[in-house]
Chains A and B, each alone.
Chain A
């Protein structure tokens, strides 16, 4: 087990201090870590386990069970590809193939330079605008009534044509990350 640096240990302790053992706090604790770091760093597993008095194996078991916990840092732009049926009916599978081909990126992978990643997302019911992908940006969120959507859903590309998906993927490949 790696020896935690004192400052990082203190940071975990501060983030986790509100959570208690046997209180159903594991998901909330993991969300808090991920919200802070953008992912769950390997040494946070032991910190969460210590705080909640759970074996690290149980903490890691939970992390690996859920598809929205990350154990690697997020890319600058995470392409969320909607896997839902309405998107599928309207060419979603075509869009997936295009993105994977242009960026040479399999699902759930990041590019070698950690700039672009691809994630299989679940339907959230914006199906009027199917097929859609949403690009989640790591940095640069503003306040406003839609802040939580901007931060967590990012920029939605709705009613996306396959040819527009080609153009979008080529733009990302060329290094243009602008929304």
Chain B
């Protein structure tokens, strides 16, 4: 068995070679987002150009550091230790980049974003980049900087220092330190991590289990993916610290099926930790044993509910269970289990490496430390970031992500998944913390996935989408949930199709009154979107129901596409793209749209915006009196 000092020495040597390589190296970001950005073509072009041109260069690997909007990203590391970040690097840029950085051993200014290490020269340091302003990277310290497939990189940058500390502490002291840090569960419920660990430590039955919930299913949320693809060892170390504190001897890292790269890299990090004695028997001389493995989900949102997750691990459908008993007493296989979110475990190595006092130096009194967020939807720059708790929501949306597109206005902020509803634009000043978000009568702040919608979004349509999602992902146990969400969807779709009735408001409220009797948070959270629709967007809902109008022009039953007669000549291209041949010519050669064929897909308007217009289909000018 090696000591931490020996493991660290080996890691430091590997990191020194990596940061000052014998010859220039190009590290390419391979992540789910860079794959979507076309990194495959960039990699292929790099390999081919290097081979054909005989460049003296090596290729390495990176993960996404949150700047999804600049993918595919490449870091060029020079033998003198200068590291410069470039992006987006497309196949056409590869030769010029290689010529500038390898042949001339310099900088390629056209695509240079920031200096990561060494002398940047004219390239400003990464810390000065507008996207990094106000960010504090504790959890994301390595993402986008290290090779996520090399555990030595993680260790050389302070990884497993926390575990080395914890391995010398008594379980009670570990739990006290975690409690003192004030870290609470990042999955959304906000329960203090130290207390949860203490429940498991106090449980009598053995063996005890660690479970990490990486079933990040909220559409639009991807903070866990950034960690699992970029620095999986942080999560694994956190689980190991929790195991030493609680007496758990086995752990399951449950990752959703949609994250195959996160699964692959987590499995590799587990294997590498085992090889170094950081998993297994007598971890770092603590006298305590802990092993773990990855469990791959298979596509079920409700497995993100902690008891659904336990059922899924334990050989069955991922049906949430009735609590109590709580997992600390009867979890996976009916044995004591601690379930935490990815980010909750990821905080532990930071707390034990730097101490609870330092951890508490940032954030708010109730929520010390930092939180990761992903911002997506109608913003100019989509990305993942880490900021101290209580940072205003608007700082992330407007300053870091550039706000909505020019000419548009912010309309809806969805703070944390379909089960936490949607807020009006006024929520932008809300500090990202537990209590401020409760002002909006929501269950909490959510897991960190924020979706931004501009004025082209219809809240009725969005609510129908959330409720469809809740219905589709309901496990089916509770009639309130699977039946209630079905009724929600029927009513909302009927309204969007032009069949809204004044009595629909009461019907929605009636369903809402039954959903709290669902067993788990899936059913209990399902009314949030409908509630928000009634609380914050009632005028638009009434417009749909009474005037049969969708002001955003989204609800398909309330709009119709028409050829603008003034631009009839331009309609030929629109007719050619129409997937259903709905745009036809009458006997006089004038174009018209056959409404029975039109699927309102907008392809025609995209190619001929002047020739095709969108009208209200059913608009009733005089409001219908409520019955």
Contact = CB atoms under 8 A, between A and B. Distances in A.
State whether these chains interact.
Answer: yes
A122 B607 CA distance: 29
Contacts of A97: 579, 599-601
Contact of B36 (A148, A156, A163): A156
Contacts of A61: 316-317
Contacts of B393: none
Contacts of B465: 85, 88
A105 to B, nearest CB: 12
A163 B606 contact: yes
A148 to B, nearest CB: 5
B602 A149 contact: no
Interface stretch (A5-13, A23-31, A109-117): A23-31
Nearest to A83: B219
Interface string A141-179: 000111011111100101001110110010000000000
B221 A125 contact: yes
B315 interface: yes
Interface string B591-611: 000000001111100110000
Interface centre among A58, A69, A94, A122 (most CB of B within 10 A): A122
B102 interface: no
A66 B301 CA distance: 9
B43 interface: yes
Interface residues of A, number: 61
Contacts of A25: 315
Contact of B315 (A26, A90, A163): A26
Contacts of A124: 32, 222, 225, 258-259
Contacts of A88: 465
Interface string B70-84: 010000000000000
A158 B36 contact: yes
A98 B35 CA distance: 24
Interface string A12-27: 0000000000101111
Contacts of A123: 219-222, 258
B43 A144 contact: yes
A38 interface: no
A149 B30 contact: yes
Interface in B283-328: 295-301, 312-319
A144 B580 CA distance: 41
Contacts of B297: 27, 66
A128 B296 contact: no
B246 interface: no
Contacts of A101: 579-580, 599, 601
B376 A86 contact: yes
B257 A94 contact: no
B300 A67 contact: yes
A22 B333 contact: yes
B35 A153 contact: yes
A128 B37 contact: yes
Given A27-B295, A58-B316, A145-B28, A126 B579 contact: no
B295 A28 contact: yes
B351 interface: no
A135 interface: no
Contacts of B480: none
A125 B374 contact: yes
A67 B414 CA distance: 25
Contacts of B37: 126, 128-129, 158
Interface string A39-76: 00000000000001010001001100111110000000
13 contacts: A27-B297, A61-B316, A67-B300, A85-B220, A94-B602, A122-B219, A124-B225, A125-B221, A128-B71, A145-B61, A146-B43, A148-B261, A166-B579
Interface of A: 22, 24-28, 30-31, 52, 54, 58, 61-62, 65-69, 83-86, 88-91, 94-95, 97-98, 101-102, 121-130, 132, 134, 144-146, 148-153, 156, 158, 161-163, 165-166, 169
Given A86-B451, A97-B601, A124-B222, 12 more contacts: A24-B314, A58-B316, A85-B220, A86-B220, A94-B603, A123-B258, A127-B220, A127-B374, A144-B43, A146-B43, A148-B261, A156-B36
Interface of B: 28, 30, 32-33, 35-40, 43, 61, 68-69, 71, 217, 219-222, 225-226, 252, 257-261, 264, 295-301, 312-319, 332-333, 374, 376-378, 381-383, 414, 451, 453-454, 456-457, 462, 465, 469, 475, 577, 579-580, 599-603, 606-607
